[in-house]
Amino acid sequence: MRIISFLTAVLVTAFLYLLVFERDALRAVSQGAPLSTLVGAVLGGDPSSSEAQEPTEPNTEISEGQTGATEEQPAEAELIKVVAIRSKAQEIDSAVVLRGQTEAARQVQVRAETSGQVISEPLRKGSMINPNQILCQLDPGTRSTTLADTVARLAEAKARVPETQARLEEAQSRLEEAEFNLNAAEKLAEGGYATETRVTSAQAATRSAEASVATAKAGFETTRSRIQSAEAAVASAEKEIERLTLVAPFKGILETDTAEIGSLLQPGSLCATIIQIDPIKVVGFVPESEVQRVKIGARTATQLVSGQAVYGNVTFISRAADPLTRTFRVEIDVANPDLSIRDGQTAEILIASAGKQAHLLPQSALTLNDDGNLGLRLVGPDNVSKFMEVDLLRDTIEGVWLAGLPEEVAVIVVGQEYVNDGVEVAPTYREMTQ
């Protein structure tokens, strides 16, 4: 048993020696070369043995051929296999994407301008309100009496107008008569036909007539002032009565109940809040880098959180940026006839802008370079990979629209994470739809 074990160990050792140190010769014998090739290799290639020398050259050629084959195969295996697609640029409508919210077109808090007790039945929130519809009616109290008093004073002041007018005309007539007498007396005195006393008397009468005219004019102006004061008092009393009725300034919806009957309102007290949401505004804030692409009247599409899609047009672009965010307010009018859109809903806004050339590619094809820039790995000339930065325009179900690429490109969509710039690849092309 010991002899068999020893022989087995010797044979295994010899086989391992041939497999490790004489591998080429062993391969040549397995492919049909004479056994003397292996013996010559073991003996160190003894030149005295012609049988060992003759097959050496062909075996050497076979070995060299085999070696060359093994050197070429790893060279081909070093190329990284990738999957790529060929893409051609298409013109699409470029959109400015914003985040925003809906806002009521108009909202107002109707407040009392005078004090009084509410005598009207309240309207409940959610009610549709028409323009000039009564919201709160206040108790008039003694305001009607005050108005009647001011109207009477106005009538009294107007009644004094004829009397003061007559006095003024009488005073003016007397003044004209006094001036005539004075003129006659002066001329007679010049001819020696009138005394100085008569002239002095005529002058005194003229001055008295002038004073009467001035007094009549003052009385007339006083009467006019009383009329104006009475008219102002009447207008004030009438305005005070108008303030007793609080009406809706526009068509809308009550956001709060109106003041309860019996409650006392003071100047500034809230009667009701009314909002208008047809049309409704969608408000977003565009960054300063994109504001030049937004134009008044531009078509917009708005996606609400509820999934509802609505359309409208840009009606306002702020000229002043927000001091904190450096963004500009943009307002969009959207029709809301069924009032399904509510005030304050979150919305994603797409504002149409000038068209751009872009490629529709799978989102999975996007990658980052060493600097953290977003881009794609392309198959360039001679199948050499290169990285190119892109601009993301739009994200859709079919893929992403990317700008900043040549008109026709070959984009690596599988394996782009395993190659760098300048690496030769072995691309396999497939269609975009696959």
Q: Please, which residues have CB within 8 angstroms of residue 295's CB and are 6 or more apart in sequence?
A: 314, 353
Q: Which two tokens stand for residue 263?
A: 């409650």
CATH architecture assigned to 111-138+247-269: Beta Barrel (2.40)
Residue 327 CA to residue 410 CA, distance in Å, equals 38
Say what the pLDDT of residue 200 is. Answer: 84
Sign of CA dihedral 148, 153, 158, 162: positive
Domain boundaries, the chain: 2-71, 80-92+356-429, 97-102+276-355, 111-138+247-269, 143-242
Q: What is the mean pLDDT of the chain?
A: 84
CA 76: distance to chain centroid? 55
Say what the pLDDT of residue 35 is. Answer: 65
Q: pTM to 2 decimals?
A: 0.54
pLDDT digits (tens, 9 = 90+) for 367-418: 998 888 899 999 988 899 999 999 887 788 888 989 889 999 999 999 888 8
Q: For 97-102+276-355, give the CATH class.
A: mainly beta
Say what the pLDDT of residue 60 is. Answer: 40
Superfamily of domain 143-242: Helix Hairpins (1.10.287.620)
Residue 403 CA to residue 353 CA, distance in Å, equals 14
The secondary structure element, H or E, covering residue 327 is: strand 327-334
pLDDT digits (tens, 9 = 90+) for 54-93: 444 444 443 444 444 444 444 445 788 999 999 999 888 7
Q: For 80-92+356-429, give the CATH class.
A: mainly beta
